[in-house]
């Protein structure tokens, strides 16, 4: 696992990658390769959980793919959503926890995620070279180099938490832009 400072350094490094006029993906982003890796993740999780896990594609966002593990397949009976960023193989794992930006540790403690299911997801992501970014870091105020840091009216921003109304690292790498 990575410590928080290493992950924040990674986010800042990825934020500085050259890209087109938009912030959806960096120059050289290979959609086909990202789709193949996301498909492999979906298949791996389907095998781990014993039934199909869906793969959804999004556009105009900092992430192109989401893998969903249906609630009926998890020990805690809750949906798991793994979002895959277009940058640096970043992954974010969410549950419908009362605290919508709880980290995996919190989700396990709250009973929204079992330790066994957590290991299944973490193992599959690690096997495919993804870096899980703790949600507590993604929900820090964005202070990077793109136009999102300029407090642009109409920018995609969080509507909850300590930075409500401001762009966060989640906005930068996982949100619709």
pLDDT in tens, 153-165: 555 554 444 545 6
Instruction: Please count the helices (runs of H) and the strands (runs of E) in the chain.
Output: 6, 5
pLDDT of residue 101: 52
As a whole number of angstroms, the distance between CA 88 and CA 101 comes to: 21
Structure tokens at 20: 């087109």
Q: How far apart are CA 142 and CA 20, in angstroms?
A: 20
Please give the Cα distance from 177 to 167 (Å, whole number).
11
Q: What is the edge-to-edge ordering of all strands in the sheet holding 63-69?
A: 54-57, 63-69, 80-85, 90-94, 131-132
Q: What is the pLDDT of residues 111-125, one digit of tens each?
A: 677 889 989 999 999
Beta strands in the chain (DSSP E): 54-57, 63-69, 80-85, 90-94, 131-132
Tokens encoding 42: 């979906």
Q: How many Cα atoms within 13 Å fall on the side-chain side of residue 163? A: 20
Residue-level pLDDT at 30 = 92
* Contact criterion met (CB below 8 Å) for 168 and 11: no
pLDDT, tens only, 42-61 = 999 999 999 999 999 987 78
Confidence (pTM): 0.85
Which residue(s) pair with 92 in the sheet? Answer: 83
- What confidence score (pLDDT) does residue 1 get? 46
> If we measure between CA atoms, which residue out of 104, 114, 41, 105 comes closest to residue 73?
114
């Amino acid at each position: 696992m990575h410590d928080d400072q290493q992950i924040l350094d990674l986010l800042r490094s990825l934020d500085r990658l050259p890209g087109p006029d938009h912030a959806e993906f960096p120059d050289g982003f290979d959609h086909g390769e990202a789709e193949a890796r996301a498909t492999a993740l979906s298949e791996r999780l389907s095998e781990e959980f014993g039934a199909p896990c869906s793969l959804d594609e999004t556009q105009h966002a900092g992430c192109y793919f989401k893998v969903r593990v249906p609630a009926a397949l998890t020990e805690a009976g809750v949906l798991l959503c793994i979002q895959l960023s277009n940058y640096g193989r970043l992954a974010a794992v969410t549950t419908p926890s009362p605290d919508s930006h709880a980290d995996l540790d919190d989700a396990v403690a709250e009973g929204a995620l079992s330790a066994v299911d957590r290991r299944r997801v973490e193992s599959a992501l690690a096997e495919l070279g993804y870096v899980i970014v703790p949600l507590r870091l993604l929900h820090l105020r964005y202070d990077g180099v793109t136009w999102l840091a300029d407090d642009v009216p109409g920018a995609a921003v969080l509507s909850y938490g300590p930075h409500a109304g401001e762009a966060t690292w989640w906005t930068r790498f996982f949100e619709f832009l």
